[in-house]
């Protein structure tokens, strides 16, 4: 009976941690902040057992109303991947972005965020 209880607790804990990891957002480190907006850098980090590897970064500007623009590079693949994107602000925000390694891998993304 105790072994079943330990298994259930371990399973619940692992599901909670997996859910938290899946929802993790990038860390934006502010470089400059004023009433017009925030200039930030968002490093692309990959944790290891004892350290963290940095595989590039994005640099962007975000205004207080939510408008944002960014550009970055990811070096975790054999060819570096470059990306750029932007989003509008407000209660209904539209976003678009593109990335490419300059060879065969490229992508385009778009989205809508509705605040309620």
String of DSSP letters for 59-102: EEEE-TTS-EEEEEEE-SSSS-EEEEEEE--SSEEEEEEEEE-S
**pLDDT beyond 50 at 1:** no
| pTM, rounded to two decimals | 0.69
pLDDT 10s digits, 37-49: 999 999 888 888 8
Say whether 53 sits in a helix, a strand or coil.
strand
pLDDT at 10: 55
**pLDDT beyond 80 at 6:** no
pLDDT at 18: 47
For residue 17, report the phi and psi dihedrals to the nearest 5 degrees.
-65, -40
Cα–Cα dist 99/107, whole Å: 5
Cα–Cα dist 43/72, whole Å: 9
The pLDDT of 71-94, averaged and rounded, is 91
For the chain, domain boundaries: 26-114
Lowest-confidence segment of 11-20, 46-55, 74-83, 101-110 by average pLDDT: 11-20
């Amino acid at each position: 009976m105790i072994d079943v209880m330990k298994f259930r607790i371990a399973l619940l804990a692992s599901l909670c941690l997996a859910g938290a990891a899946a929802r993790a957002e990038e860390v934006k480190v502010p470089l400059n902040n004023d009433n017009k907006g925030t200039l930030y850098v968002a490093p692309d980090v990959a944790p290891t057992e004892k350290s963290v590897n940095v595989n590039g970064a994005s640099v962007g500007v975000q205004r207080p109303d939510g408008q944002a623009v960014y550009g970055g590079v990811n070096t975790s693949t054999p060819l570096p991947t470059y990306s750029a994107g932007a989003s509008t602000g407000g209660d209904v925000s539209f976003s678009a972005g593109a990335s490419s390694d300059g060879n065969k891998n490229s992508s385009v993304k778009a989205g809508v965020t509705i605040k309620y």
